[in-house]
Amino acid sequence: MRSVTYSMGVSLDGYIVGPDGGFNWTAPDEEVFRFWIDEIRQVDVHLLGRRLYETMLYWETADQDPSLDDSMLEWTALWKPLPKVVFSSTLSAVQGHARLASGRLAEEIERLRAEPGEGEIAIGGATLAAEAAELGLIDEYRAMVYPVLVGGGIPFFPRRERRVDLELVETGTFSSGVLYLRYRVAR
């Protein structure tokens, strides 16, 4: 069965964006960017909330930008054809290899898990991930922890009064001080 993964950059104090809505502190250096490229290779479909979808729209046409370096072109070549499912109550259309979700999150994930394939079902966006976590649908949490305290904003983990036991699967340390933590939900 295909795994559902939630992977994003997060501040040391637990936020994916700061109180001002900014996340420029997550801009990856070449080493971290290479890691993200390798990670996206494992994904068969990406589920996104509206805000993350709109942020990632840049990559749908980025290959037309002559200033992109080889790693950015490689990312674009992987991201652009990747099937994406967008969860939004305000969008009426999406671009590229994206489609608007036709059902609720649990229904979409159940359908995607039933499809053939071994690649991951990735979830992006804290709001969407919080809903998936509440429903017990996330199999792995992957945090790219940046050495910064932002003091508030949108949390990486949902603030629910529910315990979830995790098993450490992998760690990594980058020369920039970024730390990668990969945990599997203990079932």
The pTM of this model reads 0.92
Distance CA 147, CA 141 (A): 19
The model's pLDDT over 30-41, given as tens digits with 9 standing for 90+, comes to 999 999 999 999
Identify the band that residue 117 occupies on the pLDDT scale cut at 50, 70 and 90. Answer: confident
C-alpha torsion angle, residues 109, 35, 13, 187 (rounded to 10): 40
**pLDDT value of position 33:** 95
Distance CA 114, CA 44 (A): 13
* C-alpha distances out from residue 64 to 80, 81, 135, 179, Å: 12, 15, 40, 32
Which of 1, 25, 3 is CA-nearest to residue 142? 3
**pLDDT value of position 41:** 96
Rounded mean pLDDT, 55-71? 92
